[in-house]
Amino acid sequence: MEFTINTYILQGFDEEQTQRIESVIQYLSAKNGLQNQTQILKKLPLSLEPNDYVVIFTDELSAGMLTRDKDNQKFFTDKNYRNNQVLIIIDDVSTDSLPAYMHHLPVFALSNYNESWEEESLDPENQEFTKSKLVESLNDIIQFIKRSKQAPKPDRPTIFIGPFDDNTTYEYQKLTRELLYRHYNIVPEIANPTAKELIENPEYLKQLLQKADLAIHFIGHKSLLDYPEKESAAMKINSIASDFCKTAEGESFSRTIYIPSQAADAPEMLELKISQFKSNANRLTHAELVQTPIEKFKEIILEKIADIASPLTQKNIDVTTETDLYFIYPPGAEQMASEYFQWFDKHQVNFKTSQVDLDQLALLHYHQNQLAKCNKVIIYHTDNPNWFDQKVSDLIKSPGWGRNKPFEWIAICGNNNYSHKTLQMLKNQNIQLIENSGSPNKEKLKELFRK
């Protein structure tokens, strides 16, 4: 279906750069079979036809003009258009500085792609053209418009993406565009409604969750620093979704919470607040917290969606049997671990181990299900602190994988070169440290299993 893109450029945006961007938009539109008309205006239009799209370019100077003008404010606040008909493209201005009434619009930040985009070649005849990060971002916008115009596909997974939180605008849009490219269905409709509107209409939010196969939440550092004294809009939506997962309808619902990576100059309090949030099992029902760069996060989400589209069979993973003990050990430690297995068999301990013959994705689900079901855990640590830290982190995440009770105890054995700071993350758990000189400490094991 062809439709018209009306590209409105407010006066005040750098004229030379505007012309360069305009020419690229026209080229990419024609390449994608879209009609594109451009016009420079002093004020925004007050009405749009159903098939019209408005792309507004603004920098620090024109942003002030955009937000101070009363007619412009009326255009944004009246919302007499589909939210996705209006896209804001900013350069050299923070999304946080935009007024709240503009946060329901898709906002694209050119500087997130390349700080020196002005020096790139924008000539389609130049071989460097397709490598330009600016061209990539503008092509994203064209594809965004195309995909958001298409009807939902009933045979494709549906993903609930919670409205973006402070300083997660870029990540939210990066993931959203990736999912649109792959023809996945997204609810709510991109950037529509706002977080505030979802909170004020919990029944509608519940309907969206019922439609979805997976939920993704974006929670920024400011929300975490204010937590738990103040609950941001994104935090409130997470709480509503967590409560939904406790109902019969949400029993098998899966959620992922994205937290931006911490910068070197991040406040010390942030790490404490993140740990505090992770320990609140009541608000993390069926949720996995992920703190990673956005490109890695995209890989994780696409893997989850692939899993939803082709669910693992029951014969590969047994999720119904409750295990008394889950014994976690790293690859390569089979010989030492086997001595523990012999002791468990001799004393009739019902146990399962972390090293089983499954492919990578199946192994991940197996690990998560064991942590959700088992009563006790032993971590056999060798000489890899990073591996140990990851396993401790998995224990903390276990409520998000369906665990609804504390572990009876968590025992750490093997090499003692772990970080006590890592163990502090488990301060609310019953931690047992087993000293041993190679072979299992049988007396300590007997003591633990008598408890």
Residue 71 or 271, more confident: 271
pLDDT in tens, 367-380: 888 998 899 999 99
pLDDT at 218 over 90: yes
Please, what's the largest Cα pairwise distance for the chain?
83
> Residue 86's closest CA among 63, 67, 110, 108?
108
Residue 318 — pLDDT band, cuts 50, 70, 90?
very low
Q: For 342, left (φ over 0), alpha (ψ -120 to 50), or beta?
A: alpha
Pairing of strands 158-161, 214-218: parallel
Q: CB of 187 within 8 A of CB of 211? A: yes
* Ordered domains of the chain (ranges, CATH): 4-148 (no CATH), 155-309 (3.40.50.300), 325-449 (3.40.50)
pLDDT at res. 306: 80
Asked which of 92-106, 398-412, 423-437 is least confident by mean pLDDT, the reply is 92-106
pLDDT at res. 191: 54
pLDDT at res. 439: 72
Q: CB of 8 within 8 A of CB of 39? A: yes
Which residue is it, tokens 């930040």? 109
* pTM confidence score: 0.58
Q: Which two tokens stand for residue 225?
A: 């620093």
**Secondary structure (DSSP) of 150-218:** SPP-TTS-EEEEPPP-TT-HHHHHHHHHHHHHTT-EEES-TT-S-HHHHHH-HHHHHHHHHH-SEEEEE
> Residue 134's closest CA among 11, 126, 102?
126
Residue 360 or 380, more confident: 380
- Report d(CA 3, CA 414) in Å as an integer: 65
Q: CB of 293 within 8 A of CB of 264? A: no
Give me the sign of the Cα torsion angle 312, 286, 293, 330.
Answer: negative
pLDDT over 90 percentage in the chain: 16
Give 36's Cβ-side CA count (13 Å radius). Answer: 22
Residue 415 or 192, more confident: 415
pLDDT at res. 46: 66
Going along 42-135, which residue ranges are E strands? 53-59, 86-91, 107-109
Residue 118 or 425, more confident: 425
